[in-house]
């Protein structure tokens, strides 16, 4: 059972954290303090689309990974430093060595897996914290033509950030003082979180990499010009010519008909 609107005021949920991490903290605060009614999502098309495609998503995931699910929509609650957290997991995987959960999402067709993971990471890591699971399979339907799934490892650093954000935000609710993004000090980076076992690295401050980067960018432009000139030279060689040459360059046709370029080193001559 999902929490009622009145019950949702008394907890920080995964969807609350998604909104807070994505800059909607003031609206969430107004709902928690009773200044605004929690939105009725009955006629919210994206939300309802996700709800109605979830059973099919679960069926597809189970078939692709050849697993069974249990504890669907199981609610977990805990209080951390007087902050009440709550969440409903979409499901758990049976008969696995490690405890793993699944989260189902439906999004627009041009969205990317990384963007979905980044947006919903607060919710996913909260559920990993609440369920004590080791990782989460994020199963996503994109529009009506594509399905992807990604395994997200539990991040204790990210969960610590969630706890700090929760403490700061809940204090603003209890003290009836609007929260500010600066006070929340939200770190939204997911670079260090393994997605399918792989992390992401910002090399902006890596001097060696920046030198290589500059060389690559310069040479990439030159390489395009080089290939263009090479193609034009090839087109200038007639079909009945076995070689075209100058004192600096030779273009010979091999037995298979391919043209071979040789730069002539004057010193060798």
Rg (CA), the chain: 28
CA dist 138 → 69, 117, 258 (Å): 14, 8, 50
Predicted local confidence at residue 249, as pLDDT: 87
> What would the DSSP string read from start to end of 211-248?
HHHHHHHHHHHHHHHHHHHHHHHHHHS-TT-SEEE-SS
Residue 12: alpha-carbon gap to chain centroid: 23
Antiparallel, parallel or unpaired: β 135-142 and 83-89 = unpaired
Predicted local confidence at residue 267, as pLDDT: 52
Tens place of pLDDT per residue across the chain (269 aa): 455 566 778 999 999 999 999 999 999 999 999 988 887 777 788 888 888 899 999 999 999 999 999 999 999 999 999 999 999 999 999 988 889 999 999 999 999 999 999 999 999 999 999 999 999 999 999 999 999 999 999 999 999 999 999 999 999 999 999 998 777 888 889 999 999 999 988 889 999 888 888 887 888 888 888 889 999 999 999 998 888 888 888 999 888 899 999 988 755 44
Predicted local confidence at residue 73, as pLDDT: 93
CB 83 within 8 A of CB 17: no
How many CB atoms are located within 10 Å of the residue 22 CB?
14
CB 10 within 8 A of CB 34: no
| Domains assigned to the chain | 5-184 (3.90.320.10), 207-263 (no CATH)
Antiparallel, parallel or unpaired: β 243-245 and 249-253 = antiparallel
Predicted local confidence at residue 201, as pLDDT: 87
Residue from 40, 133, 119, 41 nearest 90 by CA:
133
Q: What angle do CA 63, 65, 71 make, to 5 degrees?
A: 85
Predicted local confidence at residue 218, as pLDDT: 82
Predicted local confidence at residue 269, as pLDDT: 44
């Amino acid at each position: 059972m999902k929490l009622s609107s009145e019950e949702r005021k008394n907890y920080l949920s995964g969807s609350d954290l998604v909104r807070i991490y994505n800059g909607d903290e003031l609206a969430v605060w107004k709902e928690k303090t009773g200044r605004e009614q929690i939105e009725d999502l009955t006629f919210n098309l994206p939300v309802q689309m996700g709800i109605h495609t979830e059973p099919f998503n679960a069926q597809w995931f189970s078939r692709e990974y050849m697993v069974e699910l249990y504890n669907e929509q199981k609610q977990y609650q805990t209080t951390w430093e007087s902050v009440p957290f709550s969440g409903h997991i979409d499901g758990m995987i049976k008969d696995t060595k490690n405890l793993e959960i699944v989260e189902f999402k439906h999004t627009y067709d041009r969205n990317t897996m990384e963007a979905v993971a980044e947006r919903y990471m607060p919710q996913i890591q909260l559920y990993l914290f609440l369920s004590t699971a080791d990782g989460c399979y994020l199963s996503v339907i994109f529009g009506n033509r594509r399905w992807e799934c990604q395994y997200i490892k539990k991040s204790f650093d990210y969960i610590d950030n969630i706890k700090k954000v929760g403490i700061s935000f809940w204090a603003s609710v209890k003290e009836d003082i609007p929260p500010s993004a600066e006070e929340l000090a939200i770190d939204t980076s997911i670079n260090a979180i393994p997605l399918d076992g792989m992390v992401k690295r910002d090399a902006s401050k890596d001097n060696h990499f920046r030198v290589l980067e500059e060389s690559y960018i310069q040479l990439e432009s030159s390489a395009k010009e080089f290939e263009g000139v090479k193609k034009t030279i090839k087109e200038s060689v007639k079909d009945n010519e076995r070689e075209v040459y100058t004192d600096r360059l030779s273009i010979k046709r091999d037995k298979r008909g391919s043209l071979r370029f040789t730069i002539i080193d004057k010193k060798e001559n």
